[in-house]
Each structure stands twice: as C-alpha cells, then as structure tokens.
Amino acid sequence: MRVSLISALAGFVLALVPVTGETPVLAGDTPAPKDAYLYIGWPNDGEIVRKRRFRVWFGLRNFGIAPSGIKKKNTGHHHLIVDAPLPPLDEEIPADKNHLHFGAGQSEAFVELSPGKHTLQLIMGDHDHVPHNPPIISKKITITVR
C-alpha cells in the first residue's frame, strides 16, 4: 500500500516536470563532491553542556574552507544553524541569531546559549553563502545547556 502510494506520488512528480518544463531547484549552483562530510565534532548529540558559553568544533572531511567571497573549487565556509530548521537550499543562507556565518574561514567558534534544550546543525555555504549542490549538511543534534 505504502509502496504503491510512493510510486503513485513519484509518478505524479515525474508527470509534473514536463508540464512545468523545468527541474525543481533543490540546491545552489556550486558543485560539491558526493563524499564531502560535515559534522559537529563537539558537542555530541545529547550532550549536557555545563557552560552557557562553549566552543563548537566544525568537522569537515573531503572538503576545504575558504573565506566568504573566495570562489575556489571544493571549498566553502561554515554556517551554524541554532534552534531552526534548514533554510531553503537554493538561496543565500540567512544571517541572524539562528544562522551564524563563519565567513572568515573559522573551523571552530564560541557560542553562547540560554539554559535549556537547543538544536545545532552545520551547513556549508559557497562564496555567495548559498549551499552547494548537493548541499553539505551535518546531522542536527540536540544539546542541553545547564
């Protein structure tokens, strides 16, 4: 039942494409290798953090860092999403208190959060702060600040 529903849905989506005449945009224009791997090195998922101000390590494999504005193959810069869902993947990542930009090329940063539960997630942005294609996204983790 479920399978047929999914295939029906897929069929519907496929049917839509020729009608609209374009492929749906799901990512930016800057290519990224499929094996690029982004993760939060610390804190761990479920960590109880005993300080309100703490350091977050940005883990990145098979990809490099470049400051914002620098266009170079297989590079980008980190963005930390705090207590928010992923932004649209085909436009500039917002810059506000829920979307922290590290356009100077940082690989770790201090974050200050109020006591309670918080979610953290990393996403790479290209020279223009737009996610890559495919987008490079870490697992979203939940931490508790004491």
Partner 1 sequence: MIKSALCAALAVVLGAGVAYAGNTPAPKNSKVYIIWPKNGQVIHGGKFWLRMGNRGAGMAPAGIKKANTGHHHLIIDAPLPPFDEEIPADKNHLHFGGGQTEVRIELPPGKHTLQLLMGDHDHVPHNPPLFSRRITVTVPK
Which residues contribute to the site for partner 1 (CB under 8 A)?
A: 41, 57-61, 63-67, 70, 72, 74-75, 102, 104-108
Smallest distance, Å, CB 23 to partner 1? 30
Indicate the residue among 57 and 95 with the shorter CB distance to partner 1: 57
Contacts of 138 (CB under 8 A, 6+ apart): 38, 39, 40, 59, 121, 122, 123
Indicate the residue among 73 and 117 with the shorter CB distance to partner 1.
Answer: 73
> In the bound complex, what is the minimum distance in angstroms from residue 51's beta carbon to partner 1?
16
Backbone φ/ψ region at 54: left (φ over 0), alpha (ψ -120 to 50), beta: beta
**Closer residue to partner 1, CB minimum distance, 108 or 128:** 108
Q: Shortest distance, CB of residue 38 to partner 1, whole angstroms? A: 11
Q: Which of 27, 57, 31 lies closest to 120, judged by CA?
A: 57
Which amino acid, 86? L
Which is closer to partner 1, CB of 22 or CB of 35? Answer: 35
Phi then psi for 124, rounded to 5 degrees? Answer: -85, 145
Q: 143 phi and psi, to 5 degrees?
A: -125, 160
Residue 79 C-beta: closest distance to partner 1, Å: 14
